[in-house]
Structure 1
Amino acid sequence: MNIMRQKLTMLLLGAASVLSSCSTQIERHEKNELRAPAYPLVTIDPYTSAWSFTDNLYDGSVKHWTGKDFPLIGVAKVDGQLYRFLGMEELELRPLVKTSEQGTWTGKYTIEKPADGWQNADFDDSAWKEGEGAFGTKENETAAKTQWGEEFIWVRRVADIQEDLTGKNVYLEYSHDDDVIIYINGIKVVDTGNACKKHVQVKLSDEVIASLKKGDNLIAAYCNNRGANGLLDFGLLVELDDSRYFGQTATQKSVDVQPMQTYYTFTCGPVDLDLTFTAPMFMDNLDLMSRPVNYISYEVASNDGKKHEVEIYFEVSPQWALDLPHQESVADSFTEGDLLFLRTGSRNQEILKKKGDDVRIDWGHFYLAAEKENSTYAIGDGKKMRKSFTENKLEAPSSEGYDKLALVRSLGETNKASGHLLIGYDDIYSIQYFGENLRPYWNRTGNETIVSQFQKAEKEYDTQMKNCAAFDKKLMQEATEAGGRKYAELCALAYRQALAAHKLVEAPNGDLVFLSKENFSNGSIGTVDLTYPGAPLLLLYNPELVKATMNHIFYYSESGKWTKPFAAHDVGTYPMANGQTYGGDMPIEESGNMVVLAAAIAAMEGNAEYAKKHWETLTTWTDYLVEYGLDPENQLCTDDFAGHFAHNANLSIKAIMGIASYGYLADMLGKKDVAEKYTQKAKDMAVEWEKMANDGDHYRLTFDKPGTWSQKYNLVWDKLLNLQVFPAKIAETEIPYYLTKQNKYGLPLDNRETYTKTDWIMWTATLANDKATFEKFIDPVYLFMNETPNRVPMSDWVFTDAPNQRGFQARSVVGGYFIKMLEGKLNNSNK
């Protein structure tokens, strides 16, 4: 089954009769009323991750979590009438002035504030330096060509345009970290304020397009790097022929996000359509959880009592298998058993050659499959296939370099019919782990194939649909009981996001390794301070997966590859796990995280065998915490975006919790003298902490600054593990004080800024002694997610005085939302 370009492919199998496949009886559940910032559709891993960023499924293109288009179109043909219900015919844009990813460009730049008028064509920039775009820090190495690590930069780029743009749609595309202002021929086009985005496209106004003359044009940009990473890149795109074939849409009636499924309902004229996206991510079945196949189910039913002729058209783009749209792809089809497969991938197949943050996979292959009976397919030019479908004959005239895959399911003349597709990805090798390429967990022995995975998924379809519905219903009931309905609805949205931001593999030494990716953070892999906030979800459902988020860090130290007396921050940049690449260490943060989580695992399992296995390493890290943890020097913590500072009271709590956790583990292992020594040390430090941090009606951000405050979310482990290290009065003092500091959209992280971290709010709220108080902290977070105009997979770094994302999205840390449910499970196990 070699990959071949198919110039014209058409297969018609079977008569157009009512499908006999599976309308499953699913458990009824209470609808999730949250208007999600983005809706999960296909969630497999950090690369194969597709979302709807719009209220209606047909209002925009399906997108990867990064915001890049993952075009997937669905159209119902009912008695010859077309109703688009999924995705949209994407804009076809051609680079007019290339960004650094599309070509090379140079510009004049300065890091010293220039005189007024620097954005105008007649400004004298002869004293400015010249450099190749993009400009940025080494952390943005996939984009930055000229190093810029200073706070500010001003760039002037002359663009030679030789075509008439009259009547055409032109877009500015830009990437920035952080604040950016961009002018075109002196006209301001973008002014983001405090934000960080990549590949944003903005349609230019008629005024700006009118200013684009043949010859030299000026694009001028200012960017403010507030700390850590920096990036500035920009260019222009022009829209090609804008003809559309699927202009009429269905009417969306509802959308409902449950933990493993997203449900949509539509009306397509005289027919109602139910559409369900399902990812059976059961954490107690790792072969199933890691299976790279999701389901798209559909059911149509007449709403006028009559039979109707129905076909459903699905079209997918090779962009699912490419990092950038202009890469060359190939496609083919084949049948195996009862399934018809459509397949696409990059021509070059450079396995594990790319790493970074805003990077998508371009090796391996994307697959779309369905029962071959009553299926018609074609591969070729998208517009020509759409046109042929409207004319009742699906054809695929040849297209050079950009094939689309189309699949039609014929339901016949029917009152009611149902069916499903399978959608998935075979990445062949997933992770490079200290120099060795590792297969995905589902094929860890090399004895499986992607076809066998699809066939298993097909065979189990009815069972998995019922199991997912039952799981979702139970989770939502338990979450509602723990933290209220709004809390439960946030957990529903967090579930697939948290899991799909990881990749599961088996290390050469047999360790299970569940590696997170720092999505729109810096692209690090296996980061400890993502493991820590995300752990509650994994602790709740399978502590083995928490171990799997820690094993690589233990191995890194115990192999001698990492020689420092504290835990590493990460093991590389995704998907290359060959050693830490982050620029700064977080000694107290990461060591405390690892020891606390080792104790949390022991609490869940009722034994400390995992800690015993790594006791020497845990001892080294704990001794570091004892020596340096009470009054931390100027070092980074997980909230590194807020900058460096010394005497961090919350980081000190982290150290004390780590020491107390070590004492807890020693006691479980029968090391009574060790347990007593370290537990007493933690209690003594807690006494000192209370004296240093006390600021009257609350506790300080830093020991040396009265009048400051911060969320003390690390304190939650004293409650969950029943360590009894800190006096109860500390949490009892902080909680009511926090409620006086809340803004409309949540509790700020501390007194310095209005932004917050939504995962830490969940932890802080869990310090409350009653459900009603807990809900007072959750309601503003729910309001934010319900109202934010930033339509991206849930961000954990947001403003509290306006419904705006500050940065980060689609990250695994939302697994931390489950800490309130974890509290209940730990309390029950301690009884």
Structure 2
Amino acid sequence: MLFALHAMGVGLAFLATLARADVSWTATPFNPHSIPLAVRSPYLSAWLPQGAGAALNDVFPTFWTGSILGWAGFIKVDGAAYSWMGNANVAGASFSKAAQKSSHFTATQSTFVLSAGPVDLTVNFLSPVEPTDLVKGSLPFAYIALSAASTDGAAHSVQLYSDISAEWVSGDSGLVATWSTTTGDIITHQAQLQDPVQYSENADHTQYGSAYYSTRNTNNVTYQSGSDVSVRSQFINNGVLTNEQDTNFRAINDDWPVFGLVHDLGNVADASAPVVISIGHVRDPAIQYITAGNVLQDRSIYAWSQYGSVGDMISAFLGDYDNALTSADAFDAKLQADASAISDNYAAICALSIRQAFGAVELTVAKNADGSYNTDDVLMFMKEISSDGNMNTVDVIFPAWPVLLYTNPSLGYYLLEALYRYQESGLYPNKWSIHDMGSSYPKALGHNDGSDEAMPVEGYGNMLIMALSYTQKTGDLSMISAHVDLLDQWTQYLIEDSLIPEEQLSTDDFAGHLANQTNLAIKGIVGIGAMAQIASLLGDEEKASNYSAIAASYVTQWQQYAMSTSGDHLTLQYGESDTWGLSYNLFGDKLLGLGLFPDSIYEMQTAWYNTVTQPYGVPLDTRHGYTKSDWEIWTSAIVTDTATRDVLIQAVYDWAGNGQSDAPFGDWYETADGSADGFRARPVVGGHLAHVRGLNRCSVVSAHQNIRQLIL
């Protein structure tokens, strides 16, 4: 059943209201499918699954895959124990559940308030987003801050407990873990596999490195490691831990070893100063990268260039909490102000997308011959989370690109540079742009056999569009000048194949191969237009004029091929008038300001979307009823009236909170009933910032300085 947008706008809003999850607490800006808790890297990624609604103490947090991460919390108030996080069943100990009063998320923080008798506990999870500070931005740690306040005017005795389990170190709970606790100025629990395997994964969890759970060592902190029942019951029954360490190393699922911390707040009346705990996962080296000559290079997270040990990182991270909170509040406020200029619902979508997008990347440096870190050699790597685990996938970076333009385009430079270097090494045998830097994170080994997934027009177009948009945003010519020969080579292919694309995949590869794709041709033509501008920026006006003329000619011919016989919409495939799809690749034309496609095309498509909108948006194309949230938002950024824009945004907003999934923001779902089609936690949600990608005006430092830091 098709819905006319303007006629059915009220009805759609009503349907969406009925579909949204109802919870017993105040959820702002809404209750999403899953709430980010500690999300800083592909391996530090903890979420609170919601579905139709789950309080912080209804379920255990999970890894982005959905596997449980043991993370539990209890509070004692005047001797009475309450759980505030996790779903622990502690034999031999009596406790109640604190009542959740509210949940609230911003771009960087998730905050819960729970009532434990006469005391309210505020729990703040902060995953810093520091896009212009490469050291802070690369630290794989997150904060949890706890504060208690009396609600009846009287002072109450309060003790706070939290722990993590060894589940944080592997995707296989049958493997043996080891652990230790260090004390001093900081108490740190550390856990890892007994037999780690470098550069390997199990169920998308890393199989090497260590998990860390730390807090400052004051005279009111106690700690303990041991089985989940023994450590948790010790606190519930006594309000204190024993400062003892379990040395019986064993399988993760054998009496479930946990690592607990207790803070005794004493008598609390007014809101207590926050108790701050850090959680992180560190491995070194982080990335294996193939270089010219087929030499494999070990790369470390950028923060190692600043710190000599993990202990130094933890100390600096805990000591920086006040600054981190101030910075996070400023980032949250800036994004809220920018995005709410479109709508409050759009601002909520953007806020939910930020940590997920940045949680898929790691910023790295290589070492010099003497073992020092080379901060002139910075590369960033992105995991294609959930869809296949590839590294620096071009057609995943591309939809995520708006979040990089908004926060710091230089991060995009570091992502693309890893691809450029490999393509120019001579190791890759195909003529087209490589699909990805490796089939299995964290091994960026390229595809020397040329067996990567072929997406010729898609890849070429993406790389050219991103190269020009980076240059336009920063004024930095280094990317296009260093790689102009490769960019020009790719343009030649687009000239050959983008007007009438042969049968091939687009980024929506799950939909299958298709020849003569209207939307794919748009990308190729925009890519040619982008190269014209690149040539002009580099002073080659003859080439610029030639490519501009070709792009303009292709647009004229494309209109004849792509128009339906009814003249009211673009087809999915040339010559198939009954087909149609989201022409989201027109966003590239608007992003770059090329003006290749006439206004009439945008106006026609806007009117057409009004006739085919379903309760959860416009289907991707006529082959299926599903859509993708990134392309819905990109389309909303190019339609010609705000009513259509807002309905497309509303559809994504309604999907994100309809209670039909408990996975981190999925970008692939059915438009008719809002059911999920499988993707979760992918970085492509960075594309949701399409409306704000140009708001920050940046001045870039010299391309030859070690930190390509932009001042917003």
Give the TM interval when normalised to the shorter protein. Answer: 0.7 to 0.9
CA distance in 1, matches of 2:92, 2:335: 42
What are the superposed Cα offsets for residues 532-579 of structure 1, whole Å, 9 maximum, x if unpaired? 000100011111111112111111110111132211000111111001
- Given that 1:355 and 1:576 are in contact with CA atoms closer than 8 Å, whether structure 2 keeps it comes out as no
Describe how 1:456-475 pairs up with structure 2 within 5 A: 456-475=316-335
Aligned counterparts, 1:659-738, within 5 A: 659-695=528-564, 696-738=567-609
**Is residue 37–residue 125 contact of structure 2 (8 Å, CA) maintained in 1?**
yes
Q: How many angstroms apart in 2 are the aligned matches of 1:50 and 1:388?
A: 26
1:46 aligns to 2:45 (yes or no): no
The whole-number CA distance in structure 2 between the counterparts of 1:828 and 1:746 is 37
Contact 1:84 1:246 in 2 (8 A): no
Deviation at 1:387, TM superposition (A): 1.9
The residue type equivalent to 2:324 in the other structure is Q
- Does the C-alpha gap of structure 1 residues 391 and 244 become closer, same or farther in structure 2, counting only changes over 3 Å? closer
Conserved 8 A contact 1:498-1:813: yes
User: Is 1:388 the equivalent of 2:247?
Assistant: no
The one-letter amino acid paired with 1:332 is S
* Residue matched to 1:312: 160
- The one-letter amino acid of 2:285's match is Y
2 CA distance for matches of 1:302 and 1:422? 25
Give, in whole Å, the separation in 2 of the partners of 1:720 and 1:545. Answer: 18
Distance in structure 2 (CA, Å) of the matches to 1:246 and 1:51: 27
CA deviation vs aligned residue, 1:148-201 (integer Å, no higher than 9, x gap):
xxxxxxxxxxxxxxxxxxxxxxxxxxxxxxxxxxxxxxxxxxxxxxxxxxxxxx
Structure 1 pair 567–78 and aligned structure 2 pair: CA distance change class (3 A): same
Return the offset for 1:362.
Answer: 2.1
User: Which residue of the partner structure matches residue 414 of structure 1?
Assistant: 268
Residues 757-786 of structure 1: per-residue CA shift (max 9 Å, x gap): 100111111112344431121001111111
CA distance in 1, matches of 2:663, 2:442: 22
* Cα distance between partner residues in 1 of 2:698 and 2:148: 46
In structure 2, what is the equivalent of residue 182 of structure 1?
none
Structure 1 residue 507: Cα displacement: 4.8
Question: Over residues 437-469 of structure 1, what are the superposed CA-to-partner deviations in whole Å (9 max), with x where a residue is unaligned?
Answer: 211121147x53211111111221112112211
In structure 2, the residue matched to 1:363 is: 208
SS of structure 2 residue aligned to 1:634: coil
Question: SS where residue 670 of structure 1 aligns?
Answer: coil
Which of 298, 301, 322 is matched with 1:437 structurally?
298
Following TM superposition, by how much is the alpha carbon of 1:823 offset from its aligned partner in structure 2, in angstroms?
Answer: 4.6
Asked if the contact 1:789–1:804 (Cα under 8 Å) also holds between the matched residues in 2, the reply is yes
Amino acid at match of 2:384: E
Equivalent of 1:597 in 462, 466, 470: 466
Shift of 1:414: 1.9
Q: CA deviation at 1:607?
A: 4.4
Q: Determine the C-alpha separation between the residues in 2 that align with 1:294 and 1:37.
A: 21
1:790 to 661, 666, 676: 661
Secondary structure class of the residue paired with 1:807: coil
Distance 1:246 1:252, change over 3 A: farther
Q: Distance in 1 between matches of 2:30 and 2:471?
A: 35
Other-structure match for 2:80: 81
Contact persistence 2:338–2:695 (CA under 8 A) = no
**AA matched with 1:272:** D
1:550 counterpart SS class: helix
Question: Is residue 2:328 matched to residue 1:476?
Answer: no
Q: 1:824 offset after TM fit, Å? A: 4.8
Shift of 1:704: 2.8
- Aligned partner (choices 319, 329, 344) of residue 485 of structure 1: 344
**Equivalent in the alignment of 1:636:** 505
Shift of 1:505: 1.1
Return the match for 2:479 from 607, 610, 613.
610
How far has the Cα of 1:390 moved from its partner? 2.1
Distance apart, 1:471 and its partner CA = 1.5
Secondary structure in 2 aligned to 1:503? strand
| Alpha-carbon separation, structure 2, partners of 1:827 and 1:275 | 35
**Of 260, 266, 276, the match for 2:114:** 266
Q: Quick check: 1:281–1:290 contact (8 Å CA) kept in 2?
A: no
Deviation of the 1:608 alpha carbon: 3.0
Q: CA 1:670–1:398 in 2, change beyond 3 Å: closer, same or farther?
A: closer
CA distance in 2, matches of 1:378, 1:602: 53
Letter aligned with residue 383 of structure 1:
V
Residue 579 (structure 1) aligns with: 446
- 1:487 is matched by which residue type in structure 2? Y
Alpha-carbon separation, structure 2, partners of 1:260 and 1:789: 24
Cα distance change of structure 1 residues 309 and 369 upon mapping to structure 2, 3 Å threshold: same
How many Å separate the matches in 1 of 2:476 and 2:610?
Answer: 38
Matched, 1:820 2:702: no
Contact 1:58–1:84 under 8 Å retained in 2? yes
Task: Answer whether contact 1:385 1:394 (CA < 8 A) is retained.
Answer: yes
Counterpart position of 1:455: 315
Distance across 1 between alignment mates of 2:424 and 2:46 = 37
Provide the rounded CA distance (Å) in 1 between the counterparts of 2:193 and 2:699: 51
How far apart in 1 are the matches of 2:698 and 2:551? 22
Which of 620, 633, 652 is 2:521 aligned to?
Answer: 652
CA distance in 1, matches of 2:694, 2:283: 37
How far, CA to CA, are the matches of 1:526 and 1:515 in structure 2? 6
- Computed over aligned residues only, the root mean square deviation of the Cα atoms, in angstroms, reads 2.1
Between 1:502-511 and 1:751-760, the stretch displaced more is 502-511
Asked if the contact 1:293/1:453 (under 8 Å) is kept, the reply is no
Q: Out of 619, 624, 632, which is 1:753 matched to?
A: 624
TM score, norm. by length of structure 2: 0.87
1:801 equivalent in structure 2? 672
SS in 2 for 1:706: coil
Pick one of 193, 196, 202 that aligns with 1:346: 193
Match of 2:709 in 1: none
Q: Provide, for residues 596-632 of structure 1, a one-character-per-residue CA deviation record: whole Å limited to 9, x for no partner.
A: 0001011101343311110000011111111111111
Residue-pair matches, total: 644
Describe the superposition over 1:269-322 as per-residue Cα deviations: whole angstroms up to 9, x where unpaired.
100111101111110111111112211011100001111111111011011111
Structure 1 window deviating more from structure 2 (604-613 vs 668-677): it is: 604-613
Q: Match for 1:348: what amino acid?
A: D
2:704 corresponding residue in structure 1: none
Structure 1: distance between partners of 2:696 and 2:606: 22
CA separation in 2, counterparts of 1:826 and 1:469? 20
The one-letter code matched in structure 1 to 2:82 is Y
How far does residue 399 in structure 1 lie from its aligned partner after superposition? 5.3
| C-alpha distance after superposition, 1:697-750 (max 9, x if no partner) | 000000031210011111112122221111111111001201211111111101
Checking the alignment, whether the CA contact within 8 Å between 1:381 and 1:398 is kept in structure 2 is no
Pair 828,429 (structure 1): closer, same or farther in 2 beyond 3 Å = closer
- Return the structure number with greater relative CO, CA threshold 8 A, min gap 6: 2
Q: Distance in 2 between matches of 1:697 and 1:828?
A: 43
Distance 1:824 1:255 in 2: 29
Please list, as runs of the form range in 1=range in 2, the aligned pairs for 1:4-403 lying within 5 A after superposition: 32-54=28-50, 55-89=54-88, 243=91, 245=93, 248-336=96-184, 338-352=185-199, 354-355=200-201, 358-373=203-218, 374-392=220-238, 393-395=240-242, 401=250, 402=252, 403=257
Structure 1 length normalisation: TM-score? 0.75
Q: Secondary structure at the match of 1:610?
A: helix
Aligned residues: percent identity?
32
Unaligned runs of 5+ in 1: 1-29, 91-241
* Structure 2 contact 499–558 (Cα < 8 Å) conserved: yes
**Offset, 1:506:** 2.4
Which ranges in structure 2 are unaligned for 5 or more consecutive residues? 1-25, 291-295, 368-373, 701-712
Equivalent-residue separation in structure 1 for 2:103 and 2:72 (angstroms):
17
User: For the Cα contact (< 8 Å) 1:431–1:439, is it kept in 2?
Assistant: yes
Query: What is the match of residue 280 of structure 2?
Result: 424
Question: Structure 1's 526 and 743: CA in aligned 2 closer, same or farther, altered over 3 A?
Answer: same
Equivalent residue, structure 2, for 1:199: none
Partner residue in 1 for 2:370: none
Change (3 A) 1:763 1:351: same
